[in-house]
Structure 1
């Protein structure tokens, strides 16, 4: 029953948007497409300083790479044009030239926590960033991520040991009497009052953020600061590199392959083949849902990863059902054969999945761009294929055994009833 409910919920979310509290859940089919399928943004970023060296440009490129990684944008092209002292960036985008994202991508991203003085404010009443009052910098932050706290989007952070010590000293000194200003590129984000000492080495950053703003801020903190600001002087929309019909043709080919697999499994394995077909289709739905929710751009290499993981799911079901048929030939009852089939196939399935996951992890660590996107969809798909083969397939088969017709050995490739 639980498996059926899960399949139903994920299938509904595949076609429909939903809202969970203050969090919007997009429909699974509302995928963010990569440059090769949808096109995106082409921008020329120039350093906001003179006499920039090639080493500094390469360092800036590395930070931009990490920022896009933190936003799950793996399908991009970034390269340095040393002779023109600029960085060329291409990445997928749903809409037209998104100058806000480009400007944010080129911002320095220097985060500081500073003690503020009540009378040191600008014309708008915002606290000024005083250079001699810095408590923490972005380098003191071990991790940062977007969370929902008291119904609002915040950035939760954890400090390294040295930073935790500095923060504990400052909050103990300012508890009940002062404020700490949080600045990004000298601009005030928030200035919370210090009510109690914070000695655990963690905290949150508030600032009336949207989900996107909080996520981007966390990503910029984790990516580190640029050595200088990069200014977008030219931003254009680029066309898809593989043409308008590339995705349509690929999707139809994938659907045809899935249909043929389901027909083969049903014809050869009978009732277990029907169950396998449901599990494989569930795998495809779950995977597309998760890719959509994680906002990972879908590229042709990514689609290849999805298809390959579906193949891994088919392989797992084949191993299980062959074991079940062997147990039936040895005279076991259907119930016993099913239990032994799943149990004895488990180690073989684990071995094949672990080796594939290791390959995917190595690809993710050692590569960039579309290959990293392929690695993400592959690893995600292999994990889901294991869960669907071991849990959903087993649950559905056990359910059919509780029905009268489900105990007919012919449905499992044998003869008679059990």
Structure 2
């Protein structure tokens, strides 16, 4: 119907006003909207009237804003070596169970684990036990195939057993390792507040990372490439360590670098127990904080970690323990009293940024394998500005041609469609700003496509109105019936396109998602402006002008 209740008019106008408020910050300089902070790592705060009005702008993608493009390679050799080392320890423990089968210590030789039995008569029993270590290969989808994880064979001398990881098992390990690396990378980068980074698998053992707006790729490399394996060890103070870290250590003790000790004039190496008291897996939260004027990283353990930490500190009051990150001691405080609350702090001469990055890495978890940057590119803002200008030119040209066509084909009704198109673009811009979605160059293409779809809806409506008028209906009846009968076709076309946009968003990544986001938002705003808002404008025009003929 062409009658709009006051509350409907209020809702339509209110939606447009909200869209305008969210789009306005994109046309206001940042210096006017935001208060720049002096502290490193802190986001600028809104100032003045922008503390109560929306102040966020559209986030630009890597192709528009510039940023860092990095490809990391997962160290699969390290994964293989770790798997063989763990297999050797499993073999040793399996043969030592009661009744024990005596053998030399299992050794990793090339890509095999080799164990030599003390007595050849134990061969059958040893093979039977080791076969229990073999399991069906679990794929990334969770299913199990016919392949096994291990190849187990007897040596020609009758006393040697050789074990190796099958190709199928290693492929499954590789897939799982890369997937875990992508998840950890995503959590680390998301925790920095970066909007819409692109993180995707590239090939069998590489991960692509694109971070819009990040002009310092080394920070991303440091943040992403650090394994972040956190462990806590007791310090052994009775070990004499040379200036280059050389020392004769008793069993179960190792020497680790301690760069922070140089500030106190101490040796840059420290001896710690090889066995870790607690690992970072038991952390539930960490954050950057200030204590006594220093930047520290506060941490909190889960229940089991808090219990183990409390017992360890209770039994070692007066001794020092080392906080080890990726094989390097970052802090070695003295235990003055039992720490029973399950929380503590890490001191290490941090800056605000480095403490925040460490806390983010600990919260995201440790990488399953080392990452090596093999490709590094920085997309400068100049290239992004060229893309923005080209996109703006394309939008303006397309918009102008569409307006000229609508004015030439439909007269005063073309003016209504033009106003609706302008409102449509404003609503898209406001939605992108409010949702903090990322606009990419393909996203601009989505906006242009949306303009065409909005005009298509207007054409369907106006042609239906013209047809009804030619069939002898009055102007008011023709307009009313034209809108009602065109609605089904408009809804059908936009719903099917919205489904396609949803699939693109779920299955795509990076620029493809950017296109899907703008297309999806544009579909919603197009239906609103082409059917609801333009109908309101025409209803107001009919009520005031009361035309006798259809001015089309």
TM-score class normalised by the smaller sequence = 0.5 to 0.7
Deviation at 1:56, TM superposition (A): 4.7
The residue number in structure 2 matching 1:409 is 549
Q: CA deviation at 1:389?
A: 1.4
- Are positions 1:10 and 2:19 aligned together? yes
Q: Which range moved further: 311-320 or 244-253? A: 244-253
Q: Is the 8 A contact 1:73 1:297 kept in 2?
A: yes
Query: Structure 1 111/302 Cα, relative in aligned 2: closer, same or farther at 3 Å?
Result: farther
Deviations 1:128-168 (A, max 9, x none): 41551689xxxxxxxxxxxxxxxxxxxxxxxxxxxxxxxxx
Look up the SS of the partner of 1:90 in the other structure.
strand
Residues 326 and 363 of structure 1, relative CA distance in 2, 3 Å threshold: same
For the pair 1:347 / 2:488, whether they are aligned, the reply is: yes
In 2, are the aligned partners of 1:287 and 1:380 still within 8 Å (CA)?
yes
Matched, 1:97 2:216: yes
Q: Equivalences for 1:273-284 in 2 at 5 Å?
A: 273-284=414-425
Alignment of 1:217-256 (within 5 A): 227-228=367-368, 237-239=378-380, 244-256=385-397
* Alpha-carbon RMSD: 4.4
In structure 1, distance between residues paired with 2:306 and 2:380: 46
Greater Rg over alpha carbons, structure = 2
CA contact (8 A) 1:56 1:227 kept: no
The superposition leaves residues 363-416 of structure 1 with CA deviations (integer Å, 9 ceiling, x where unpaired) of: 22222221122112111111211111121111111111221x2534242x2xxx
| Equivalences for residues 166-177 of structure 1 within 5 A | none
Q: Distance in 1 between matches of 2:393 and 2:298?
A: 56
Instruction: Supply the distance in 2 between the matched residues of 1:280 and 1:392 (Cα, whole angstroms).
Output: 10
Give the direction of change, closer, same or farther, for the CA distance of 1:180–1:359 in structure 2 (3 Å limit). Answer: farther
CA contact (8 A) 2:58 2:438 kept: yes
2:443 corresponds to 1:320:
no
Give unmatched runs, 5+ long, in structure 1: 115-123, 136-178, 188-212, 414-418
Alignment-derived partner of residue 26 in structure 1 = 55
For structure 2, list consecutive stretches of 5 or more residues without a partner in the other structure. 1-8, 34-45, 81-173, 229-279, 286-295, 308-339, 347-355
Is 1:37–2:160 an aligned residue pair?
no
The answer for the alignment partner of 1:132 in structure 2 is 304
The answer on whether the counterparts of 2:421 and 2:529 sit within 8 Å (CA) in structure 1 is yes
Q: Which residue does the alignment assign to 1:63?
A: 183
- In the comparison of the two structures, how many residue pairs are matched? 321
How far off its partner does 1:55 sit? 3.1
CA distance in 2, matches of 1:111, 1:295: 34
SS of the aligned residue for 2:78 comes to: coil
1:342–1:297 CA distance, 2 compared to 1 (3 A)? same
Equivalent residues in 2 for 1:143-292 (5 A)?
227-228=367-368, 237-239=378-380, 244-292=385-433
